[in-house]
Copies of this chain bind each other. A is one copy, B any other.
């Protein structure tokens, strides 16, 4: 494995000249440059990025933590994030937290060990996290990690309002809501709060459904949706994330419940699957590419030591009209 000294020797110059030639930094004569290029080719030389990293004290790697890649929301988020990072000459190191605990702490350690230059997190912070000791940037997707961690979120208030108003305009009186319980004070809690507020204002009653948010499988969703529809037989509408909403449409079809006549459904997220249901799912679409872009943009700006980094960036949402409401 040829090193820079081999190249220097072969080209008959010093290592400094080689380094300058390769990095396009400082002056290098035409002859020297040509001899070096020749040597590089002959010796099949590739600069050892590890040595560069050590010197520069950066790895060019950003960790991206998501709960579960099987969830299409996070798969798409990672896809978009990876592409944005690539545009900024960074690589994405991926981490699923599902099935394994303590992974977040480990990735934070990797930052301290200089293996990662930063972290984009789509998961809750680990309990008892001490942000003091972290010297590298973290950007969060829709979670509160602390006052000094920038958050990229989508317009949950508008999203909640879109949901509530759609339900009200459709004349729903009894809504079954699959929503996370408001307890951890996360940005997306705003959404459920807004939905409930507006529904109350219009005297629409609703009931929350309690599900295990760590279970990601349609079989589980189908079971849960079926159970709840049985329990609450007066329900005339369901509001849930797209995956559960889709499960709901499937259950309705199997039970002969007509949508939207007998049961209205409104989803949230605007995932691909919303196009596939029959009828297509009316849902509030989050701009995942935009959220990914904001996350990457923010972390890059911190890495570049820019000033006035916004601590909160809110991406737009829009109603994607379907046939379920």
Do A250 and B273 touch across chains, with their CB atoms under 8 A apart? no
B residues within 8 A CB of A93? 61, 91-94
Do A49 and B96 touch across chains, with their CB atoms under 8 A apart? no
Q: A114-B48, A217-B272 are in contact. Are A76 and B69 (CB under 8 A)?
A: yes
Interface residue tally of chain A, by bracket? 35 or more
- Indicate whether A278 reaches chain B with its CB closer than 8 angstroms: yes
**Interface segment, one of A105-113, A231-239, A262-270:** A105-113
- Indicate whether A230 reaches chain B with its CB closer than 8 angstroms: no
**Interface segment, one of A25-33, A51-59, A137-145, A151-159:** A51-59
State the CA gap A217–B76 with chains docked (Å): 12
8 A Cβ contacts from A23-76 to B: 44, 46-51, 53-54, 57, 59-61, 64, 68-70, 72, 75-76
A79 touches which one: B68, B114, B133, B135 (CB < 8 A)? Answer: B68
B residues within 8 A CB of A46? 109, 112-113
B residues within 8 A CB of A253? 278
A72 touches which one: B49, B75, B96, B99 (CB < 8 A)? Answer: B75
Do B49 and A51 touch across chains, with their CB atoms under 8 A apart? no
B residues within 8 A CB of A4? none
B residues within 8 A CB of A109? 46
State the CA gap A281–B103 with chains docked (Å): 36
Cβ of A81 to closest chain B Cβ, rounded Å: 9
Cβ of A234 to closest chain B Cβ, rounded Å: 24
Q: A47-B113, A57-B50, A69-B79 are in contact. Are A247 and B218 (CB under 8 A)?
A: no
B residues within 8 A CB of A64? 94
Cβ of A47 to closest chain B Cβ, rounded Å: 6
8 A Cβ contacts from A206-239 to B: 217-219, 222
Cβ of A281 to closest chain B Cβ, rounded Å: 11
Q: A46-B112, A54-B54, A110-B49 are in contact. Are A70 and B79 (CB under 8 A)?
A: yes
State the CA gap A135–B218 with chains docked (Å): 43
A75 touches which one: B69, B98, B100, B275 (CB < 8 A)? Answer: B69
Cβ of A13 to closest chain B Cβ, rounded Å: 22
A246 touches which one: B61, B82, B276 (CB < 8 A)? Answer: B276
Do B72 and A70 touch across chains, with their CB atoms under 8 A apart? yes
In the complex, 10 of the A-B residue pairs with CB atoms within 8 angstroms, ordered by the A residue number, are A46-B113, A48-B54, A61-B93, A69-B76, A69-B79, A75-B75, A83-B99, A91-B93, A218-B272, A250-B276
Residues of chain A touching chain B, judged by Cβ–Cβ distance below 8 Å, are 1, 44, 46-51, 53-54, 57, 59-61, 64, 68-70, 72, 75-76, 78-79, 82-83, 86, 91-96, 98-100, 103, 109-110, 112-115, 133, 135, 217-219, 222, 246-247, 250, 253-254, 272-273, 275-278
